[in-house]
Amino acid sequence: MKEIAPLIINWYQENKRDLPWREDKNPYHIWISEIMLQQTRIEAVKKYYERFLKDLPTIVDLANVDEEKLLKLWEGLGYYSRARNLKKSAQIIVEKYQGKMPENYEELLKLPGIGEYTAGAIASIAFLERVPAVDGNVLRVISRVIGSKKDILLLETKQEITELLKEIIPVEADLFNEGLMEIGERICLPNAAPLCDKCPLCNHCIAKKEKLTNIIPVRIKKTKRKIEDKTIFILVYQDEIAILQRPATGLLANLYEFINIDGFMEEKDIKEQMQKWNLESQKITNLGRKKHIFTHITWEMQGYRIELKNKNDLFIWIKKDELDKTYALPTAFAKWKENIERTLFDL
């Protein structure tokens, strides 16, 4: 293990990608990118990162941003608690640290939404603190190098690998951590055969030597996602569409949604539902089924576009440009926007 650090650093310096958050060592930029990169692909994050920093260039701007604007900037990234925790942390940084990021791992770890990995990434990349940054990529690479068949989804496995890395992390902690993550993303692949012939660690890798890369890393998933059925209504009155704001707590808190009910509704029952909402339908179009997968829940959705003769006071009625510019619509509901644009607004 002690021999791999210089190999990682040399490979990274020669092969690192040109990414916007690597243009400087600004801890705010690193923080935003690391939070965005959780559960999201690098290519998808780039446009969100640039837009976010254009509107909120400093920690003070983030601390003072209106939540509705913040959620709109985050729209499409999902896991909206990440955005809310960014603002909470920014407010703490302004109040407690005079608007400057804490410069060590232990202080970073105290901020909302910053766990061990993110604290390690910021501390090592921005401040060169010799701490590991252990994410799924790192767990995969090191598990293969040492030939570990322990379940990487277990906290104890992560802790063991973290302790192992603490013993070998060099002074160039930033290059080491970024290089290790980059090898995991581009070489030691998660869902395909690893590119061992391109890996700087291939001569030190037990999984390669013993032909175990299809077995290691070990992941034992124990929970199944709950499946929930929903009926989505694209309610159209003239050039307006109906939405509602979700509750302040729970899944997708405070975000906006198209009108929906639990369970699948047949077309024959829709007119009756419209009457309950004091609405009169004139045309019903079946939009088919869509699916959205959350961490622990899967939504199976049946959609209908319903042209109305009137509107009510139960819902919020908006125009398309308002939906695009003002109201943050989570991905589960944004899946239905294409139906709006093709049918309602192309007039």
Residue numbers annotated as active site: 34
Asked whether residue 347 carries a pLDDT value surpassing 60, the answer given is no
Q: What are the tens digits of pLDDT across the range 138-180?
A: 999 999 999 999 999 999 999 999 999 999 999 999 999 999 9
Residues 47 and 77: their CA atoms lie apart, in Å, by: 11
Fold of 4-209: Endonuclease III; domain 1 (1.10.340)
In terms of DSSP H, where are the helices of the chain?
4-15, 27-37, 42-55, 59-64, 67-74, 81-97, 105-108, 116-127, 136-146, 155-168, 173-186, 206-209, 270-276, 320-325, 331-334, 337-343
Q: How confident is residue 185, by pLDDT bands cut at 50, 70 and 90?
A: very high
Check residue 266 and give its pLDDT.
Answer: 83
Q: What are the tens digits of pLDDT across the range 55-77?
A: 999 999 999 999 999 999 998 88
Q: How far from the centroid of its chain's Cα atoms is residue 225's Cα?
A: 18
Check residue 345 and give its pLDDT.
Answer: 44
pTM: 0.78
Please give the angle made by the CA atoms of 344, 242 and 310, to the nearest 5 degrees: 80
Report the candidate in 318, 327, 250 with the shortest Cα–Cα distance to residue 72.
327
Element (H, E) at 231: strand 226-237
7 C-beta neighbours (distance < 10 Å), count = 17
What average pLDDT does range 190-217 have in this prediction?
94
Residues 283 and 123: their CA atoms lie apart, in Å, by: 58
Asked whether residue 339 carries a pLDDT value surpassing 90, the answer given is no
Where in the chain are the domains?
A: 4-209, 226-343
Asked whether residue 202 carries a pLDDT value surpassing 70, the answer given is yes
- Establish whether the linkage from the previous residue to 217 is cis, with ω within 30° of 0: yes
Fold of 226-343: Nucleoside Triphosphate Pyrophosphohydrolase (3.90.79)
Q: What are the tens digits of pLDDT across the range 300-327?
A: 999 999 999 999 999 999 988 888 888 9
Name, of 167-176, 184-193, 265-274, 295-304, the range with top average pLDDT.
Answer: 167-176
Asked whether residue 114 carries a pLDDT value surpassing 90, the answer given is yes
CB 244 within 8 A of CB 333: no
